[in-house]
Amino acid sequence: MKKVAIITGASRGIGAATSRLLAQKGYSVCINYLSKSKEANALAQEINLAGGECITYQADVSNEQAVSELFSYVDKQLGNVSVLVNNAGILRPQSRLEDMTAERINTILSTNVTSYFLCCKQAVKRMSTKNGGLGGSIVNVSSGAAKSGSPNEYIDYAASKGAIDTLTKGLSVEVAAEGIRVNCVRPGLIYTDMHADGGEPDRIERLKSKIPMQRGGQPQEVAEAILWFASEKSSFSTGSFVDLVGGL
């Protein structure tokens, strides 16, 4: 059976590393991105030149119609999706809760939570044996922030990731008898561009002494965990979480 993966927010960081790794393991990959077309297309070209099969698709995955069109495009170009990696997410500059606006909070929740629900909806429609599908694997990218709460920095982001933990648990039970496994990785301090979005590009350097392993993580290390959940090597795992936080 052809293995087809959709990876959201995949133009950089963890999403890009996951795209490369899954392509290397024989998955046909769709890189979803919102605005970084140059990076997404360069990554797809790199994967294709290395012998993989990769396409790109621009979509705001917090928009229901856009998500529906993304999955329909993959149906036509690659075939039935067998793996969904929900990875799209944003941060806003570090702030205490008392200084956050409703606009900021709602943007974070829409991008980081609604998008996961909408993509899961389309994946389940296609994967569920109840609907004539062949099963599949959904891997949600949460964050160690879901447990720490990110006080004084990103309580809104942390809360959005707490919602993803709950989504993972609930959906995993809902579709467990329909051939779909739903699992979650929770990265901690990983070297990605996202920290610059929060206003502190060198945040990991400031905090790494607090990590028991005394270093930040690499996107490739998170991608390896995502691959395990995506593959049949984790065939008896659903509703499970892997924390990639260096011992925090």
Alpha carbons 241 and 187: distance in angstroms, whole number:
10
Catalytic site residues?
157
Token pair belonging to 135: 């099963």
